[in-house]
Amino acid sequence: MNPVVFTARYFEEIVAGLFMTLMSLATFTNVVARYAFNSPIQWAEEFSRYAFIWMVFMGAAACSKRGTHIIIDAVVTSVSRRVRTLCAVATDLVVLTLMAAVTYYGWVLCSMATQATSTLKIPQYVVYLVVPIAGALICVHTIRSLWRDVHALAGGSAS
138, 95 contact by CB (below 8 A)? yes
Distance CA 148, CA 85 (A): 10
Distance CA 90, CA 145 (A): 11
Distance CA 159, CA 153 (A): 10
Handedness of CA 53, 46, 117, 43 (dihedral sign): negative
* Predicted pLDDT of residue 157: 54
* Predicted pLDDT of residue 77: 85
What are the pLDDT digits (tens) for 96-129? 999 999 999 999 999 999 899 999 999 999 999 9
* Whether residue 36 has pLDDT greater than 60: yes
* Whether residue 158 has pLDDT greater than 60: no
Average pLDDT over residues 32-53: 94
Question: Which of 60, 142, 130 has its CA nearest to residue 94?
Answer: 142
* Whether residue 140 has pLDDT greater than 70: yes
* Predicted pLDDT of residue 156: 60
The one-character DSSP state at 77 is G
Domains of the chain, residue spans:
3-155
